[in-house]
Structure 1
Amino acid sequence: MPRLQPRPKAVATSNLTPASASSTPGPSISKDPFLKAESPTSRQTSGREPADPVSQRATLFLIRRTLCTHLGDKGRSTPAPINEILPPLTSSNEVDVELYAFIAIIIREFVQTWYSKITPDPYFVEEVVKIIAHCTRALEQRLRKVDLESLLFDELPDLLETHVQAYRTANYSTHPSPLEGEPRKVYHSLWPFPALAPVPDDNALVQQQMNNEAHYRQLLVHGILAVLLPTEDLENDCLTTLVGQIFSEMILGGGIGGKASEPWLLWEGITKVSEVIQDHLPKSKAKVRHDRSKSQSLSQPPVDVTGGAEKRWRIGTSMQRTFWLILQYAFLTFTTIRFLIITIATSPSLPSRITATNKPPSLVQSKEHTGEPKLTTDRVLDSSKRPVKRPIIKMKLWSCFSSLFYLDFRMPWLYGMVSMLQWGALAGPGEVGNIDGMLDKILSHAVQTHVLDPSLLPLLLRTARSALFPNNTLAPPRTIPSSNEQLLIRRRCAEAILSLLPARIQDIYFGAGIERRVGEIEEVLNVFSDSYCNKHLLYGVVELIVVRLIPELDHKGVDELLEERLS
């Protein structure tokens, strides 16, 4: 196999191992840009691994100890930078470090535990790393061609909306008890998925369904490897079988088909996401409580104020509140007008969402003899008639949110008003919400700037590693919570979601009573209360992402792809 030469990187990611640190009498300063200069206090503890397992020093130590024990450090007083001894995974050094940390944990926990008992050969890890690096670089090139806006805000919410509607239909019976259908069978008939058939309602069918699911995972992984692996590695049956088994059973089977589909784990994940969002809000809960208590204390008169003095004090307090309220509204109005002026002025300079080759005028809009505009399609189509673009305000994210929280049932007037505004933006004067309209480009620019910012990816990977592998190792097997504990987890999740909404919105949408509000959020969370139904959603998400990254799998089978590569 030809050795993959690593490309030069802009920033080196080297670190000091404990062995090299003890080889010199004085403290040495690392040239790694990720590591800060050592203080006298840090020098005293440099021989020990830092307490924070996701810190940069601990991460690099993990990578070197697992992946670089036999690469590049022989005969050197100072360890070589990571980019000199490991092939690059992506075009970003920070992302590479986090991905290598994941790879190091997976190889240490799932591969070396049994491979080291077979042979002491240390070069197996090097070959696995090369294969993974080849695949990740190919995936990065394919990722640049994926429309992430449509994937995140249209296609994935569409899957979630399908799951919500199918689950609620399956669990809402119109017949009395003897005639009601089984929810899982009704759900599977509404969203058929061959890998999850037959519905496991007895022991014999459970094993058959598990076998079908395992075959589906292996087929999916081997299809990915048939496209991404180098030809010489694809010809090695032993290697493809081993790598395919690792990804299909240990990652997909143990993760997506196992723990991730459990309702209580999904609720815990939603809780953690809500807490992270809460921490990044402008005002924390303590600040809100402080402001509320302060406003309440201002509305209470002093203890020694009575009679006419109390009346004058209340008038003064009311005038003061009115003055600050007027000032706040004036500032808000000024800020809004300024934002609109700047946005309208800069919108023509924002990048277009579609190119000239993808913008056939007859497919975007047509005018009849009456002169009124008529939308002929929700998306802009390319020459192969495959949907490519859809206006931001027309994406499935909004209808998914409406279905999830019963907006059309709870507040039909609000749902109708939003629908009218949406139609006006799409077909009204100027068509500001249509493809490449002013509003569409502004929303797309906001998404690209604040949601799809590449600098957020290392932080996301670091947070995921901390949650999946605490202390950079496998967490001990967790005992499945009891029914009462699962109800408590669901309640905490509902409270975390409710804390994201301002109190005024809670009063308008849910009404009075904290128990009623939490109960209604818990009812929404019940759509994830069945692990079998959750598998339909999670496997659907995985399959959608794979097909968008590897479109060859959309119209070719695995055998056909292998024949093309190996012929």
Structure 2
Amino acid sequence: MTESVSVDTTSDKATAAFIRRTLCSQNVLLDNGEKARNNPRPIEEVLPPLTSSNAVDLQLYAIISVIIKEFVQTWYSKITPDHVFVNEVIQIIAHCTRALEQRLRKVDLEALMLDEIPGLIEAHLSTYRMAKRQTNISHSLVSEPRIIFHTLHPHPALSPVPSESLPSTIVDQRENESAWRQLLVQGVLVVLLPTEDLENSCLRALVAEIFAEMILGNGISGKACEGWLLWEGITRIAEVLQARLKEEAPHSEATPAEQALTRLERYGLLSPPAADENGPTKPQLSNGRRHEDRPMTFTRLIWAVIQYAFLAGTAMRAAIVSIATAPSLPARSVTGTSGQSPVEASRQSQLPQAAHPASRRPLASKRPIVSMQLWSCASQLADLNSRMPWLSGLMSMLHWAALAGPGKVGDTDGVLDRFLSHTMQMRLLDPALFPILLRTARATIFPNNALAGPRTPPTGEEAKRIKHRCAAAILEIFPLKVARAFFASDERAYQLSQIEKILDCLDDAYLNKHLIFQIVELIVLRLVPELGERGVRELMDERLG
């Protein structure tokens, strides 16, 4: 029953109905003045557009509806039944989101998503593991991981390190965090709000309170930094990826018993295993893995060679076709110009002549895709230097060959660089993923389109089960042979335990705040580069004279 309710509240139809009930109760009217109950007008015709995408607007308005319903209408409806004030708040939010979208078109999303944010994640992982190692040293003077981590990776909003033994540190840290949120939101509003709204201190204070306390405070700092909630979010994202992979994979009508056999065995190209006195021998399965413990016959060897030769030929053909078509792909210096398709334009990189000086990223300074920190972050996350040092060294050699080898195919705007850039934009920077991420975040933070009551933090055993489900969802993404080779084991339990060790870096909510706060600051500075040059008071004086 719970799953059906969850699915209904996150569907587009239920979301639109929820938005109408919350924000359009006095706006959805027919031409004759009667309420449109049987044939309601679309959301985009009633409410001001937030972005250029109706799918994104639907999810954003759903989040705004939850905030308005829980934090504004609860007290405003007791004062007056009109919706004038709520409509003004919506107009201000719409103005800010449209301005942010225009600025987003000038941001190098490729560098932000593939280089800068992975760089923050890599630094966080490195510092976390260093703090854990330092904690395990018996003769260390400081044995508290939080203190070691904050010393190596400080953030002003998270000082001082809260400690149960010193209650004053908890209060001071909360005050510093609240001041940081207010400063960040006030700076964004000073740049984005129209002058007449900026002069209205009462309205500005209320909008700042909604964003600073309700979204940043309650949503991001209060919930999104909890380890168990992050594991649940990762689980949902992994499930979405699994669904997409299943859609792209060819459908198979084979039974589970047939799926355990190789394709050659299924089509009768290999002789079945010898039968014993008790009947035909069946493949031995262990945790969904088939043991290859039967002797290699000459026929089996010949067919295995043919099969791998066919796979190698297919891979080589795909590589040749990709390299041949790469020169026809648009250069990274002109990605997102008016000559591109709308999908590519929405992912456009920043042009030197159209960007703000603080966020300018000319072609000469653009890093090649193979040199971006996405790869080193993935290596750090998988602990590749310890698990497969030979693979890490091989990747370093290939990286050098791509940048300095014949043709410099991996250098900026090289053949390989264009191909990787095109692939990343189609796979990772696909605008169709953004509404899905917003819907997932809304379902996680606001289940059933409501502010979840003070959710009881899961116990230790419940948190372990959430982490275990997250590890299982991640493991299902990877092919069996890849997981078997990476973990050097066929045992699913061992593979899950290794993934759970990687997920341990999300255990502490205080440490997670360091990473999430830095990501929020990075995104704000890329969208509002003025905050990196001048303070909030200086910007306010400039706007208001």
TM-score by length of 2: 0.82
Structure-to-structure mapping, 1:393-432, within 5 angstroms: 393-432=370-409
Structure-to-structure mapping, 1:200-219, within 5 angstroms: 200-201=162-163, 202-219=166-183
- Which position in structure 2 is the counterpart of 1:57? 13
- Which position in structure 2 is the counterpart of 1:472? 449
Report the alpha carbon displacement of residue 458 of structure 1 after superposing the two structures with TM. Answer: 2.8
Is it true that 1:550 corresponds to 2:528 in the alignment?
A: yes
Bigger relative CO (Cα 8 Å, ≥ 6 apart)? 2
Structure-to-structure mapping, 1:126-145, within 5 angstroms: 126-145=87-106
C-alpha separation between the residues in 1 aligned to 2:231 and 2:256? 26
Q: Work out which of the residue numbers 227, 247, 260 in structure 2 matches 1:293.
A: 260
Greater displacement, 547-556 / 112-121: 112-121
C-alpha separation between the residues in 1 aligned to 2:522 and 2:115? 12
Report the alpha carbon displacement of residue 449 of structure 1 after superposing the two structures with TM. Answer: 1.7
Report the alpha carbon displacement of residue 459 of structure 1 after superposing the two structures with TM. Answer: 3.2
Is it true that 1:455 corresponds to 2:455 in the alignment?
A: no
Is it true that 1:187 corresponds to 2:149 in the alignment?
A: yes
CA contact 1:50–1:58 (8 Å) conserved in 2:
no
Report the alpha carbon displacement of residue 189 of structure 1 after superposing the two structures with TM. Answer: 1.2
C-alpha separation between the residues in 2 aligned to 1:565 and 1:286? 66
| Distance change (3 Å), C-alpha of 1:500 and 1:290 | farther
CA contact 1:381–1:389 (8 Å) conserved in 2:
no
CA deviation profile, 1:530-550 (whole Å, cap 9, x unmatched) = 111111001011111111111
CA contact 2:131–2:145 (8 Å) conserved in 1:
yes
Q: Work out which of the residue numbers 331, 336, 350 in structure 2 matches 1:352.
A: 331
Is it true that 1:149 corresponds to 2:110 in the alignment?
A: yes
| Distance change (3 Å), C-alpha of 1:331 and 1:262 | same
Structure-to-structure mapping, 1:314-393, within 5 angstroms: 325=304, 328-354=307-333, 389-393=366-370
CA deviation profile, 1:146-186 (whole Å, cap 9, x unmatched) = 11111111111111111111111112127425734422111
Q: Work out which of the residue numbers 521, 524, 529 in structure 1 matches 2:507.
A: 529
Q: How many residues are paired up?
A: 490
Q: Work out which of the residue numbers 459, 470, 477 in structure 2 matches 1:482.
A: 459
C-alpha separation between the residues in 2 aligned to 1:180 and 1:56? 52
CA contact 1:343–1:442 (8 Å) conserved in 2:
yes
Letter in 1 for 2:99: A
CA contact 1:196–1:212 (8 Å) conserved in 2:
yes
Report the alpha carbon displacement of residue 483 of structure 1 after superposing the two structures with TM. Answer: 1.5
Report the alpha carbon displacement of residue 323 of structure 1 after superposing the two structures with TM. Answer: 6.8
CA deviation profile, 1:207-249 (whole Å, cap 9, x unmatched) = 0110000000011011111111111001011111111111111
- Which position in structure 1 is the counterpart of 2:126? 165
C-alpha separation between the residues in 2 aligned to 1:520 and 1:403? 14
C-alpha separation between the residues in 2 aligned to 1:116 and 1:139? 30
- Which position in structure 2 is the counterpart of 1:437? 414
Structure number with greater Rg is: 1
- Which position in structure 2 is the counterpart of 1:71? 27
C-alpha separation between the residues in 1 aligned to 2:198 and 2:423? 42
Report the alpha carbon displacement of residue 510 of structure 1 after superposing the two structures with TM. Answer: 1.8
C-alpha separation between the residues in 1 aligned to 2:388 and 2:10? 45
- Which position in structure 2 is the counterpart of 1:257? 221
Q: Work out which of the residue numbers 165, 171, 176 in structure 1 matches 2:138.
A: 176
CA deviation profile, 1:95-145 (whole Å, cap 9, x unmatched) = 222222222222112211121123333211110110011011101101111
| Distance change (3 Å), C-alpha of 1:179 and 1:285 | farther
| Distance change (3 Å), C-alpha of 1:285 and 1:266 | farther
- Which position in structure 2 is the counterpart of 1:197? 159
- Which position in structure 2 is the counterpart of 1:88? 49
CA contact 2:20–2:28 (8 Å) conserved in 1:
no
CA contact 1:50–1:57 (8 Å) conserved in 2:
no
Unpaired runs of 5+ in structure 1?
1-48, 308-314, 357-379
CA deviation profile, 1:326-346 (whole Å, cap 9, x unmatched) = 554454344333323322222
Is it true that 1:267 corresponds to 2:246 in the alignment?
A: no
CA contact 1:344–1:438 (8 Å) conserved in 2:
yes
RMSD over aligned Cα atoms:
3.2
- Which position in structure 1 is the counterpart of 2:288? none
| Distance change (3 Å), C-alpha of 1:88 and 1:506 | closer
Letter in 1 for 2:144: E
- Which position in structure 2 is the counterpart of 1:97? 58
C-alpha separation between the residues in 2 aligned to 1:523 and 1:122? 51
- Which position in structure 2 is the counterpart of 1:30? none
Is it true that 1:281 corresponds to 2:245 in the alignment?
A: yes
CA contact 1:263–1:529 (8 Å) conserved in 2:
yes
C-alpha separation between the residues in 1 aligned to 2:188 and 2:197? 13
CA contact 1:408–1:415 (8 Å) conserved in 2:
yes
Unpaired runs of 5+ in structure 2?
281-293, 336-350
CA contact 1:222–1:244 (8 Å) conserved in 2:
yes
CA contact 2:358–2:530 (8 Å) conserved in 1:
no
Structure-to-structure mapping, 1:28-67, within 5 angstroms: 52-67=8-23
Q: Work out which of the residue numbers 487, 490, 494 in structure 2 matches 1:516.
A: 494
Q: Work out which of the residue numbers 215, 223, 228 in structure 1 matches 2:187.
A: 223
